[in-house]
């Protein structure tokens, strides 16, 4: 029987080592939830890096056996591979360029590229060990751009879907990468290439038709006489989970505590991974502008800011963290009162119950990335507003802004505009809050993660049928 194989850089597990034991816990992430209905069935599998360096053969066998029980198949990476394929190329070349963060001093190291190719081959070997001609393979994200073509070479008729979770930049930026041609050729090994937004699709098609000798008719490309389709599939969230959590006893208790603590001020929530693409410093600047230029709001608004540690061994990220620490310290030192602190700042992650309590308590959610493929935090806030109140302020640079048009949309680089949006949000009449939130809740509930998985898989089947009917003509 044909099976489905999911492939991503990281497996949906957290592994920790205590003494000589490896402990596994499954991840609660949105993607894992959505794909759970697929990879846990029958002989289906999810292939990826377990997120921890394990060098001893005996330990690898032990972890593989534990993972196999969860339908997961590991690709083990050594420290050099992690440094060069993951940190060096994926996070230091692709991530910044794809998020329009290009420095004139960008370093394109040949050895990082060599490792990127080698690790993509390693993933291909792991897939080819279990894949058969009738199977469906769904590859995720920018760490594995070469993988579709590597698999296609060995299994010409297999169905391959590829989804990119981060933006695809304009060709003027993409073409800066020395290996742009090889990257596109790698992606074109897929039958269906998905992005969050139509703009990403447009940019991808622009790059393909300019960099390669490939013809495009609308969003259909012809690659060596094979049809390849590029399309937008805006990712959804596990709506049911976020809509039911605020009604749980423990969450209600935490919510009551939050309400009591911030009873004298409007609560503005901000949640991101530590990343320059999330616009955290620019957000702080807008919040400071509010306190400075509109002192009447001092003591009346509080920013609750969670920054989740991420990549902080990388110097650029460590520097960003220092800058955030400094900025928050300055603002709090300048404006704080005996019984009011402007910014409650946490550099750590929280259990999902606490996130839910915050999402459902905050009067405003401030989501202002400089560039973001989708941004799931904005959708999780909407899904959590079971009373239809609350205001979402959303950057026009987040993929989610194309769907959540009832948010207060801002340009994150315009601190005056963000500052005014905060004023508008905290003064918004309840009936207008409800009118906007209802529309957004309907959309988030309908186009949820299950829907996203289904439409992608249905389209992949359709593309395969289109290819077959072309061949028989």
Region near ligand GDG per CB under 6 A, out of 245-253, 349-357, 389-397, 444-452? 349-357
Minimum CB separation from ligand GDG for residue 241, in Å?
10
Minimum CB separation from ligand GDG for residue 388, in Å?
21
Minimum CB separation from ligand GDG for residue 201, in Å?
15
Compute how many other C-beta atoms are within 10 angstroms of the C-beta atom of residue 429: 8
Four-point Cα dihedral 333, 412, 312, 63, nearest 10: 130
Does residue 380 bind ligand GDG (CB under 6 A)?
yes
Does residue 13 bind ligand GDG (CB under 6 A)?
no
Catalytic residue chosen out of the listed positions 200, 238, 272, 372: 372
Interatomic CA distance for residues 287 and 285, integer angstroms: 5
Minimum CB separation from ligand GDG for residue 448, in Å?
13
Exactly one of 66, 209, 244, 349 binds ligand GDG (CB under 6 A); that residue is 349
Tell me the C-alpha to C-alpha distance, in Å, between residue 300 and each of 216, 259, 296, 360: 55, 14, 8, 19
Nearest C-alpha neighbor of 363 from the set 284, 461, 267: 267
Is 165 among the catalytic positions?
yes
Minimum CB separation from ligand GDG for residue 348, in Å?
7
Nearest C-alpha neighbor of 231 from the set 194, 282, 189: 194
Q: 255 to 314, contacts with ligand GDG by CB under 6 A?
A: 271, 273, 306, 308
Exactly one of 35, 47, 67, 166 binds ligand GDG (CB under 6 A); that residue is 166
Q: Where are the alpha helices (DSSP H) in 188-314?
A: 198-211, 239-244, 249-261, 280-293
Does residue 210 bind ligand GDG (CB under 6 A)?
no
Contacts of residues 29-32 at CB distance under 8 Å and 24 or more positions apart, as own/partner, are 30/235, 30/237, 30/238, 30/376, 30/449, 31/140, 31/449
The partner residues of 15 in beta bridges, in order of sequence, read: 24
CB 454 within 8 A of CB 245: no
Minimum CB separation from ligand GDG for residue 90, in Å?
13
Nearest C-alpha neighbor of 228 from the set 459, 35, 413: 459
Does residue 455 bind ligand GDG (CB under 6 A)?
no
**What count of Cα atoms within 13 Å lies in the side-chain half-sphere of residue 162?**
29
Does residue 444 bind ligand GDG (CB under 6 A)?
no
Is 199 among the catalytic positions?
no
Region near ligand GDG per CB under 6 A, out of 223-231, 347-355, 389-397, 427-435? 347-355
β-pairing, 226-232 vs 136-140, is unpaired
Residue 76 or 233: the one with the smaller Cβ distance to ligand GDG is 233
Does residue 6 bind ligand GDG (CB under 6 A)?
no
* Region of residue 194 (phi > 0: left; psi between -120 and 50: alpha; otherwise: beta): beta
Does residue 235 bind ligand GDG (CB under 6 A)?
yes
Residue 340 or 350: the one with the smaller Cβ distance to ligand GDG is 350
Exactly one of 169, 373, 390, 412 binds ligand GDG (CB under 6 A); that residue is 373
The partner residues of 23 in beta bridges, in order of sequence, read: 16
Which residues participate in catalysis according to the annotation?
A: 165, 372
Judged by the rule CB under 6 A, the positions of this chain that interact with ligand GDG are: 30, 165-166, 235, 271, 273, 306, 308, 349-350, 352, 355, 372-377, 380
């Amino acid at each position: 029987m044909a099976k489905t194989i999911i492939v991503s850089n990281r497996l949906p597990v957290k592994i920790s080592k205590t003494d000589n034991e490896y402990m596994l816990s499954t991840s609660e992430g949105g993607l894992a939830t959505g794909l759970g209905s697929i990879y846990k069935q029958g002989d289906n599998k999810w292939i990826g890096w377990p997120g921890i360096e394990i060098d001893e053969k005996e330990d690898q066998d032990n972890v593989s056996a534990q993972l196999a029980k969860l339908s997961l198949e590991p690709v083990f990476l050594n420290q050099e591979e992690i440094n060069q394929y993951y940190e060096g190329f994926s996070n230091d070349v692709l991530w910044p360029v794809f998020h329009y963060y290009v420095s004139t001093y960008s370093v394109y190291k040949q050895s990082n590229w060599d490792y990127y190719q080698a690790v993509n081959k390693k993933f291909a070997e792991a897939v080819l060990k279990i894949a058969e001609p009738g199977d469906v393979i769904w590859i995720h994200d920018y760490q594995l751009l070469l993988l579709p073509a590597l698999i296609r070479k060995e299994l010409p008729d297999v169905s391959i879907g590829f989804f990119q979770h981060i933006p695809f930049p304009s060709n003027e930026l993409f073409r800066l990468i020395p290996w742009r041609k090889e990257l596109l050729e790698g992606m074109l090994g897929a039958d269906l290439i998905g992005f969050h937004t139509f703009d990403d699709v447009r940019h991808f098609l622009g790059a393909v038709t300019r960099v390669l000798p490939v013809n495009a008719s609308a969003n259909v490309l012809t690659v060596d006489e094979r049809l390849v389709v590029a399309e937008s599939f805006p990712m959804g969230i596990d709506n049911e989970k976020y809509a039911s959590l605020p009604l749980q006893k423990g969450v209600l208790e935490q919510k009551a505590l939050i309400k009591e603590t911030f009873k004298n001020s409007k609560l503005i929530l901000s949640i991101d991974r530590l990343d320059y693409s999330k616009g955290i410093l620019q957000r702080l600047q807008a919040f400071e502008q509010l306190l400075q230029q509109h002192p009447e709001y001092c003591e009346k608004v509080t920013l609750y800011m969670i920054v989740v540690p991420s990549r902080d061994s990388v110097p650029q990220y460590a520097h960003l963290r220092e800058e955030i620490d400094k900025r928050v310290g300055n603002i709090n030192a300048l404006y704080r009162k005996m019984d009011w602190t402007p910014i409650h700042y946490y550099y750590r992650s929280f259990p999902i119950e606490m996130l839910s309590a915050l999402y459902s308590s905050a009067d405003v959610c401030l989501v202002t990335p400089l560039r973001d493929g989708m941004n799931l935090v904005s959708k999780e806030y909407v899904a959590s507003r079971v009373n239809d109140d609350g205001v979402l302020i959303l950057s026009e640079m987040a993929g989610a802004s194309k769907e959540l048009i009832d948010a207060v949309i801002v340009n994150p680089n315009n601190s005056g505009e963000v500052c005014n949006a905060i004023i508008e949000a905290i003064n918004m009449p309840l009936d207008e809050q409800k009118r906007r939130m209802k529309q957004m809740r309907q959309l988030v509930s309908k186009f949820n993660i299950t829907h996203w998985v289904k439409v992608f898989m249905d389209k992949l089947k359709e593309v395969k049928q289109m290819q077959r009917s072309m061949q028989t003509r």
